[in-house]
Amino acid sequence: MRVLGIETSCDETGVALFDSQRGLLADALYSQVAMHADFGGVVPELASRDHTRRLLPLIDEVLGEAGLGRRDLDGIAYTAGPGLVGALMVGAATAHGMARALGIPVLGVHHMEGHLLAPMLEDEAPDFPFVALLVSGGHTQLVEVLGLGRYRLLGESVDDAAGEAFDKAAKMLGLDYPGGPHIARLAERGDPKRLRFPRPMTDRPGLDFSFSGLKTHTLTAIRQLEATGALDDQARADVARAFEEAVVDTLVIKCRRALDASGQTRLVVAGGVSANRRLRERLEHECAKRGARAYYPRGRFCTDNGAMIAYAGAQRLLAGERDAASMLAVPRWPL
């Protein structure tokens, strides 16, 4: 089955072609990051308009790359949510329109399920069951994955997502959006011993997260350094380091607990923050210590992309699922 995947939930237009026999045939991405950078975050209306401009050319691009035409498609999958409603509707309407014209099935999939299954596109894919840490700009969740569609939420953030915290801390340091990669780069020059930030919600049992207090702590630390005239380049790097270390340490502690509580020996880490090098190093170490194994998507499939949607959609379409006649855009949708 050849499935076209469409991702338009936020600020990346992602399109890919997945063949259930041959694997991933092609994928293409257009990032709107530069367009939103001036505003310090994603502007929903601009995002929707840009998806409208980019989506059809990207679909032609992936079909061309795979040497296929629209008539060669057996199904279409799109991100139905969660995300920005206008942005989601561009993908949903395009998918439904094309599927109707071609007479093929169409299915709206959950964005986080896409992230969750993204490591399945790698040569060394994990088998079910596993524990997944989903860390993106909108979500921080620990999920026990027993099989396709069999997800048990173990814990999640009660306020900000980890990626959102990275983005906000970056803004405080005058860095561009999205802030995760900028903080990570700056942190490499930081002194890990100069500042120590709290590891929220690690002093009590449980698998939930909270990152909003860490954000306030970061702002206070920056203001104190500023007030004493000490906020130079080195101090900014030290703040970035202390912040990254606190988020990473918190995520590692909760992953350890989730593996203990579930008895699983495979850990999948996905979503934008899974691109973080320090997080990967620490999780590798943690897994090696306990005879477990960590799995990640390749770099460009950590952040939003069409390949993960094509893959997740193909699995569900193969299982016989289809959308009814009306398209779906579900801005808030639990996994």
H helix runs in 38-179, sequence order:
44-66, 85-102, 111-117, 162-172
Choose the one of Zn ion, ligand KG4, none that binds residue 184, judging by a C-beta under 5 to 8 angstroms depending on kind: ligand KG4
How many residues make contact with Zn ion (CB under 5 A)? 2
Span near Zn ion by CB under 5 A; candidates 129-137, 187-195, 292-300, 310-318: 129-137
Task: Specify the DSSP class assigned to residue 302.
Answer: T
Q: Which of 304, 306, 327, 328 binds Zn ion (CB under 5 A)?
A: 304
CA dist., res. 75 & res. 98, Å (int): 10
Query: In degrees to the nearest 10, what's the CA dihedral of 190, 298, 36, 42?
Result: -100
Q: Is residue 273 marked as binding?
A: no
Indicate whether 136 belongs to the interface with Zn ion (CB under 5 A).
yes
Q: Is residue 167 marked as binding?
A: yes
CA dist., res. 168 & res. 174, Å (int): 10
Q: How far apart are the first and last CA of the chain?
A: 25
Indicate whether 141 belongs to the interface with Zn ion (CB under 5 A).
no
Beta pairing class for 2-7 and 12-19: antiparallel
Q: Which is nearer to Zn ion, 65 or 122 (CB)?
A: 122
CA dist., res. 26 & res. 37, Å (int): 28
Smallest distance, Zn ion to C-beta of residue 251, A? 16
CA dist., res. 253 & res. 158, Å (int): 17
Smallest distance, Zn ion to C-beta of residue 161, A? 10
Smallest distance, ligand KG4 to C-beta of residue 120, A? 16
Q: Is residue 111 marked as binding?
A: yes
- In the complex, the residues that contact ligand KG4 under the rule CB under 6 A are 10, 136-138, 163-164, 166-167, 178-181, 184, 271-273, 275-276, 303-304
CA dist., res. 211 & res. 201, Å (int): 9
Q: Is residue 137 marked as binding?
A: yes
Smallest distance, ligand KG4 to C-beta of residue 63, A? 24
Smallest distance, ligand KG4 to C-beta of residue 298, A? 14
Sign of CA dihedral 263, 267, 271, 275: positive
Question: Where is the binding site for substrate, in residues?
Answer: 134-138, 167, 180, 276
Question: Where is the binding site for Fe cation, in residues?
Answer: 111, 115, 304
Question: Where is the binding site, in residues?
Answer: 111, 115, 134-138, 167, 180, 276, 304
